[in-house]
Amino acid sequence: MVNGIIGKKLGMTQVFATDGTVTPVTVLKAGPCVVVQRKNVNTDGYDAVQLGLVEDRPPRRVNKPIEGHFKRAGVAPTRILREVRIEKGEDSTSVGDKILVNQFNANDLVDVIGTSKGRGFAGFVKRHGFHGGRASHGSMFHRAPGSIGASAYPSRVIKGTRMAGHMGNARTTLKNLKVVAVDEEKNLLMVRGAVPGPNGSYVLIKKAQG
């Protein structure tokens, strides 16, 4: 069985419990999705399914290779495609099957994969949380990074050194988010806390692994 679904971030709100406690949640429109392709070890080297998100407005333009890909599957073209791994030997899922939000229940734990908001070029303090130098009288070291490597050896900046640069707009995974509520009729999934990306962005929701 497929343990994931494609969703769209709608925004954040609050859920009030019977005892009055407030839980901040992110509302995701999860699915419906359709299985476009089934991959297996013999042909592709691993077991997975390719999911397509069925939306109200189908894509207006589809090139011939993509059109043939969907025609081979016997399903209508979709704009958003994502791939989800499945357990080895799982043969119950086939091309054309529908994947719905009813696979999730309240109190389940899920992993949400999305693209974080792009912040453009950012300095050391904003991008990595550097504290900076003293702001006292006479100090000229405020928002500078300090040393980025020795000059004698290795005479270069080590890869991965935290420096100023492009912030955000990267694949981000938040693990073990609690499902607060599920609305099967409207295909809505409410998860506790924040989810990467702006409102209207697409995410992949997967059941947390143990």
Residues 46 and 135 in one domain: no
Could you give the CA distance from residue 204 to residue 207 in angstroms, rounded to a whole number? 10
User: Which CATH number do you get for residue 11?
Assistant: 2.40.30.10
Confidence of residue 26 (pLDDT cuts 50, 70, 90): very high
Confidence of residue 204 (pLDDT cuts 50, 70, 90): very high
Residues 157 and 61 in one domain: no
By DSSP bridging, strand 4-16 and strand 22-30 are: antiparallel
Total number of domains constituting the chain? 2
Residues 134 and 197 in one domain: no
Other Cβ atoms closer than 10 A to 203: 25
Which structural domain range is residue 129 located in?
122-167
Residues 149 and 185 in one domain: no
Confidence (pLDDT) at 90: 61
Residues 130 and 98 in one domain: no
Residues 126 and 25 in one domain: no
Confidence of residue 89 (pLDDT cuts 50, 70, 90): low
Could you give the CA distance from residue 146 to residue 169 in angstroms, rounded to a whole number? 26
